[in-house]
């Protein structure tokens, strides 16, 4: 196709969007106010991007699917507040006591400014050691040689040419608030007699999540396919890590956390989580979640059972924030009591210029 013909086609598509009042996203950059978006297999070709990339919000975009948290959607999500109960979704900063993957433990020092009158805090921490948002600088697309979201590279993160591309502060300045959806797989598995150890590799399939949602009264398919998931929802999956953590003695927890980390299919770091696979990729993409999170240390089954990680797709290819080790225990209890699995949720990532990741500072309001 000639350049002029291609330009004409883009203009026609843009006119079509206008005539449809911006309801259907067909041209890049997408308008986040649209009410219909393409499936994974329909994403337009993006030059200079890895195959499967959905860098659809503009060349200077560093918030990805947080764009979907428009004022209209946030206002609608506020109607989820019924009882006004507030639930913290963050682990205490010192947990896990021994972090996995060789990460540093949290250190807290109290500094005396004026004895008996004024005190300060000093925190020394790795934002990946406990409850966390994986930022877009955290995990690259491997097959393309290390490409982070929206054509960001290692030299943008560290070194003489470092800049603020994909810095976590972009998330902080936009903000995170919307409708949360909890899929309580751990409770469903217990109810159905499905036994697994969250400290070992276990892949939670899309079909299992679908059946879990059905048991909760939720159709986890996107609204565009007749389901209950709305564009811009924030997904939370409880796989039982904290329940297992609290059931084990501290020496066993430490031993399991200190298993070596070598990467690849033989990695001795082993965790239960969401399965890799085409069905899972289609679902995670096509629901247009603003963010996804879980209580597991890796969100996805670890080590990966495929030649790729979900981290690569969510973070690097799609720009979807990924949360790990969220505390979903009290939220699970309250959702069961209320027989309602949606809620309003807020999160305030660190406004750290150049930052890779962040504590969630997340709260659910029922």
Closest CA to 289 of 176, 194, 186: 176
* E runs forming strands in the chain: 86-88, 107-114, 118-124, 132-134, 176-184, 202-204, 234-238, 272-274, 291-294, 322-324, 342-347, 362-365
- Strand partners of residue 178: 345
Minimum mean pLDDT range among 8-17, 79-88, 176-185, 313-322: 8-17
Tell me what pLDDT residue 8 has: 54
Cα dihedral 331, 336, 342, 344, rounded to 10, equals -40
Tell me the pTM: 0.93
The structure tokens 């200079």 sit at 48
Q: What does the pLDDT average to over 295-302?
A: 98
Per residue in 4-51, pLDDT (tens digit) is 554 455 455 444 444 444 589 999 999 999 999 999 999 999 999 999
Kindly tell me if the per-residue pLDDT of 230 is higher than 90: yes
Minimum mean pLDDT range among 41-45, 348-352, 357-361: 41-45
């Amino acid at each position: 196709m000639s350049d002029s013909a291609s330009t004409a086609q883009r203009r026609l598509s843009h006119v079509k969007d206008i005539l449809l009042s911006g309801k259907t996203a067909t041209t890049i950059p997408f308008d986040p106010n649209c009410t219909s978006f393409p499936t994974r297999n329909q994403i337009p070709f993006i030059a200079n991007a890895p195959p499967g990339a959905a860098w659809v919000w503009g060349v200077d975009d560093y918030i990805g699917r947080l764009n979907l948290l428009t004022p209209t959607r946030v206002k609608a999500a506020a109607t989820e507040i019924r009882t006004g109960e507030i639930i913290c979704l963050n682990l205490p900063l010192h947990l896990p006591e021994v972090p996995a993957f060789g990460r540093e433990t949290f250190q807290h020092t109290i500094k005396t400014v004026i004895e008996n009158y004024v005190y300060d805090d000093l925190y020394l921490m790795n934002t990946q050691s406990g409850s966390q948002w994986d930022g877009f600088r955290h995990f690259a697309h491997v097959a393309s040689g290390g490409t982070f979201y929206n054509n960001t590279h290692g030299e943008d993160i560290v070194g003489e040419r470092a800049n603020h591309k994909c810095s976590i502060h972009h998330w902080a300045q936009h903000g995170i608030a919307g409708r949360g959806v909890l899929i309580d797989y751990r409770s469903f598995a217990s109810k159905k007699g499905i036994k697994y150890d969250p400290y070992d590799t276990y892949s939670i399939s899309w079909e299992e999540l679908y059946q879990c949602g059905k048991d909760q009264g939720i159709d986890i398919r996107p609204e565009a396919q007749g389901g209950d998931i709305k564009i811009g929802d924030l997904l939370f999956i409880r796989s039982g890590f904290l329940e297992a953590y609290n059931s084990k003695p501290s020496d066993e927890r430490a031993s399991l956390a200190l298993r070596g980390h070598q990467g690849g299919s033989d990695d001795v770091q082993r965790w239960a989580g969401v399965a890799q696979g085409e069905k899972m990729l289609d679902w995670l993409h096509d629901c247009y979640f603003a963010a996804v999170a879980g209580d597991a240390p890796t969100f996805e089954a670890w080590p990966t059972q495929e030649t790729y990680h979900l981290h690569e797709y969510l973070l690097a290819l799609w720009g979807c924030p990924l949360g790990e080790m969220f505390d979903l225990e009290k939220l699970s209890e309250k959702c069961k009591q209320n027989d309602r699995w949606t809620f309003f949720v807020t999160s305030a990532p660190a406004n750290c210029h150049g930052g890779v990741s962040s504590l969630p500072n997340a709260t659910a309001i029922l």
